[in-house]
Amino acid sequence: MSVTNNWFVSERGELRLGGRVLLSDLVSRVELADGFVAIGAVSATEKSQDAWVHKIDSIAISHTWEECDQWFKVRTIIRNDSQTAVNIRSVEPFSGVLCLGWDRIFSQSETMTKKVGIFEFQGIFESHMCVALSGLNDEEGLLAGFEDLSDSFYRFSADASVRRLTPVCPREDIALAPGAELEISPLLIGAGQRMSALFSEYAKVTGQRLGARVSSETMSGWCSWYHYYGSETEDDILENARVLRASPLGERIKVIQIDEGWNRPGVDAQRVWGDWQPGGKFPMGMKRMADEIHALGFQAGLWLAPFSADPASTLVAEHPDWLIQTRNRQGGLLDAGGPAEVKGLDLTHPEVLNWLEETFNRVFYDWGFDYVKIDFLMHGVLEGNRFDPTKTTAEAFRMGMEVIRRCAGEEKFVLACGSPLGPAIGLCDAMRIGPDVGGRWYAPINLVEWPQGNCSIRAAAYPTFYRQWMHEAWWQNDPDCLLARDVSVSHEIAAFEHIRAELPTTGLGISEKDFGLTLNEAEFWVRAVWFTGGLSVLSEVWNNLPPERQLLLQQAFASHRQKVGLVNCFRDPDLAVLRSTSDRAMIGLFNLSDDSKSIQISENACNDKSYKEWLSGEIISVREGRFPPLPPRSARIWIEFPE
């Protein structure tokens, strides 16, 4: 038996923690591009208590394992013992059968959109970076995750029908030379604690591995997007900045951020991502814009999509070889990769990296911007041929991000958006962790890809809660912008008309009555943003809001600086319960459904206490963990009283 304190691998191929079997039938597997599969059963032996080596033909798979703090840590090396290079498609280390009765699973996509949440464990799930399982009451769970997320889009496959959990390292058919070794990220397995505690520890370990940038000061600001949707002019930006400076938020807002549209030749002109020069709507130029914003006492922020290029751009016309290349289906020839309307830049190309450096040095130092929101970063990881075929798409992505971080230095703020998550750790200051918000509660957009929809409060709220564990461990979470308007705005309706023409949107209404937030809905979002503690960025025209909505939004800009974690949403995925992890008890209750919810929290720390609601001031006494019923589309934040 291989013993490492509490964790050990048995000679029967079991992973045990103390006296319990967590995984059985342990297997590791390597698949090559030609279809060959090397597979072996993993176990301890009398000769080797903490290592395993298996060789099939010319492919050798080796593991070493150890207990590291609370984690069982598995290192994996693949060696090519042949006389020719082999192309590795994937590595699957330490696949095993789940032996305890976990019936809830945390699963997430690699990017901010698509699926994230805790689900009933039925069918087949795929989760990127990490996966976690628990019982209905979250009394004790299991988390498996890769430690170094910089070199591959690591994922897990979980098949409930056979109870098998399989870690996967995609290698994208990259060649391994004769005699060469490939070491993939260590695999971490933790158990014996609640899922929320395991997530917290996992985020800390992975963040430290990649040098996460964690600031004690939360960024706040104003963004042009959710009112203007790309139609803003330089006069619009400066007028909003002047109004905000004179408003009650004047001393709380740090940055005025110009969003997409500033480089278009005109309001209705064709988009030209890739040509990052001021367009016709900003005739004074971007340096003067930044100077004007600074003169009003704000930092200056600018939106770019640095890994994207429009076919109409000068960049694409002059440098077609800078684009990711794919083979078209008709002639088999190499074409620029990506959807028809946008192409992805090849971030392994030296000239692209030089161009990125020139672009961001201009933005930061010639123009004087302090903050960038870099968007649609997933275009840098489109599938296709690249200049350097030895790099995975994750490594290519990180090469581009490293240039931007190097230009930004320590003083400039980088918000990543539309981005792969894991490979960005350590290279951005903040990360959008969910879909877009919008001036409506729900928008059924492309539900196959985005199960909660998009461009709405409800869609943005789910990942705000389920990815809370990333906040202040990997970066500052960006839940997306604060909105509270109770009416439609014309630019948003026009944006939704475009969405409906481009994407599946069954049942999506886009008349004026379909927009505007009720007071419950607006208060829900303000509570969610404030309580989870991420970026507070307003995207409203201040003077267009009624006084009561202005007063509501003011509350979101006073940070509480408490650590907050997800407590429970295992029984009901539409009810999120979060609480502070510090001595000051704060409990956030969030109802994402259209039905009222009864709430009882079993934790003893919540019982026999009085609480005051953060916004309303209502005072309650809690007995047996029972809180007042929560109306549809509403939230409450209960703070222990007296404090």
> CA 428 → CA 146, 222, 419, 484, 566, distances in Å?
20, 19, 11, 28, 24
Q: Count CB neighbours of 215 within 10 A.
A: 12
Tokens of 284: 């004074």
For 161-246, strand residue ranges (E) read 164-176, 181-183, 187-193, 220-223
List phi, psi (to 5°) of 70. -90, 0
485 beta partners: none
Which residues does 551 contact at the CB level (< 8 Å), separation at least 6?
Answer: none
Q: What is the SS3 assignment for 361-372?
A: HHHHHHCCCCEE
Is the C-alpha dihedral spanning 41, 47, 52, 54 positive or negative? negative
Minimal CA–CA distance to 218: which of 585, 537, 464?
537
Alpha-carbon span 72 to 10, nearest angstrom: 14
| Inter-residue contact 83 to 433 (CB < 8 Å) | no
3-state SS assignment for residue 85: coil
Alpha-carbon span 3 to 22, nearest angstrom: 15
Alpha-carbon span 391 to 385, nearest angstrom: 10
Q: What share of the chain is helix, strand, coil (3-state, %, to 5)?
A: 25, 35, 45
DSSP 592: -
DSSP 513: G
Catalytic residue among 275, 346, 375, 429: 375
3-state SS assignment for residue 394: helix
Q: Of all helices (H) and strands (E), which one includes residue 197?
A: helix 195-209
Is the C-alpha dihedral spanning 414, 207, 527, 491 positive or negative? positive
Alpha-carbon span 257 to 373, nearest angstrom: 8
| Inter-residue contact 458 to 592 (CB < 8 Å) | yes
* DSSP codes, 323-381: B-EEE-TTT--EEE-S-TT-EEB-TT-HHHHHHHHHHHHIIIIIS--SEEEE--GGGGG
Annotation says 375 is catalytic:
yes
Length of the chain: 643
Packing angle of the helix pair 519-532, 547-554 (nearest 10 deg): 20
DSSP 423: G
Minimal CA–CA distance to 417: which of 33, 129, 111, 5?
111
Alpha-carbon span 298 to 314, nearest angstrom: 33
Catalytic residue among 138, 259, 275, 436: 436
Catalytic positions? 375, 436
